[in-house]
Amino acid sequence: MTLEQLSGAKVTVIGAARSGLAAAELLKAHGAVPFVSDQSSREKLERGVRELTAAGIPFETGGHTQRTYDCSLMVISPGVPSDAPVVLEAQQRGTEIVSEVELASWFCPGSIVAITGSNGKTTTTTLTGRVLGDAKTKHVVAGNIGTAFSGVVLDLAQKDIAVLEVSSFQLDHCKTFRPKVSVLLNITQDHMDRYGHSMERYAASKARVFMNQEGEDALVYCADDPWTMKVVPEARCRKVPFGLQQPAGDGAWVQDGTLVTRLNGVEHKVIAIGEISIPGVHNLYNSMAASLTGRLFGVGPASIRSTLRNFPGVEHRLEYVRNAAGVRYYNDSKATNVDSVWYALQAFHDPIVLLLGGRDKGNDYTRLLDLVRLRVKAIIAIGESAGTVENAFAGITSTHAARTMPEAVAAARDAAVAGDVVLLSPACASFDWFDNYEHRGKVFKELVNRL
């Protein structure tokens, strides 16, 4: 569907949360006839019901009726997987389906930076926005990070930059989406339950971030990530790698303890690794990606250095909470897969009491075994997968199953001594006990601050 065809067209938006509401309002502003459908109850969608009613946009809650399919275009909110029954039914009917970020991109007059990966998306997106902002470059940060792209796209001018966090679910339904710069951080096991337990399918979804890029469009990617390197040859645009080793051409790497960038043959020593404010090798990779993106838009190395020194990090990503009785508590609730937990454990050298578990996504904990044996003195297993977690680490370290988060925090406190780290890094989704990972992290922090 083209922009011209939107006028008067019936469009169904699936999802009445933040992105769905923004998409519906964007559609109405451009002459389409939107209808919003959400399977959640009316009580759970209080804000959505209020805003849709005020905007005069028809909607339904509690399920998807036949009216859902009376449309020529369906727009999918970020949280709706490709195998959702409503999506499969629309596909069978031949309805065109796009993601909210694809829809918004049709209206974007400026440049798009699209950041994806199994881990590090939010930190890198936020950091990239800070790199641009500190250099007085006009931009917005949106996407799967808190602000819907549809809600801000009409405020952009031709010289502005939209820095977007983009999930695999959003990319699944992108057709013409073309970033000026795409960033592929890594591809590791995540959402295996949604992709038929196939890494090939999941990797193909992530690779869609650069499928429409050509010519001087740039793909910034991690050369140290095996699955990323499997899909990069498909790219038809400029390729700019980052990694620990120096590339043959342009890119970013570590040399003598310093983050170095090279673009168009010009090298800059950006910052000593020890000066980067956020800890861990994964955040070194995130910093390289953000630095290269900033350089591609003309941000100078001195400005990037200042940003990397002062960036405070992102809530729920290895977030320091407090020191209680000599024990340091960290909230890493955003760690919803095994690989992100591996990087979190790598960031600490003191004994760790690890809170692990939740709603399992088809996790294979094998990768964690050696690191847990080396660094984790106890695991507090939480959520629906507590039994699975206990079985996975039986004989590797001490385990204890908790029935609630208050019980888990108390057990972690009892297991830790001065000098230890208590780390919430669950490797699982949060929807068994909580509304989302933010809710899980906030509850954890509240409990820790009461100790």
Q: What residues are annotated to the active site?
A: 121, 144, 191
Residue 178 backbone dihedrals phi, psi, to 5 degrees: -135, 95
User: How far apart, in Å, do the first and last CA atoms of the chain sit?
Assistant: 56
Dist CA 349 CA 427 (whole Å): 20
DSSP state of 247: P
Sign of CA dihedral 189, 379, 404, 317: negative
151-164 burial code (b ≥16 CB/10 A, e <16): bbbeebeeebbbbb
Q: Could you tell me where the beta strands, DSSP code E, fall in 125-265?
A: 139-143, 161-165, 181-184, 215-222, 237-242, 251-255, 258-263
Q: Are 181 and 217 in contact (CB under 8 A)?
A: yes
Q: Are 382 and 402 in contact (CB under 8 A)?
A: yes
SS3 53: helix
Q: Could you tell me where the beta strands, DSSP code E, fall in 249-382?
A: 251-255, 258-263, 266-272, 319-324, 327-331, 352-357, 376-382
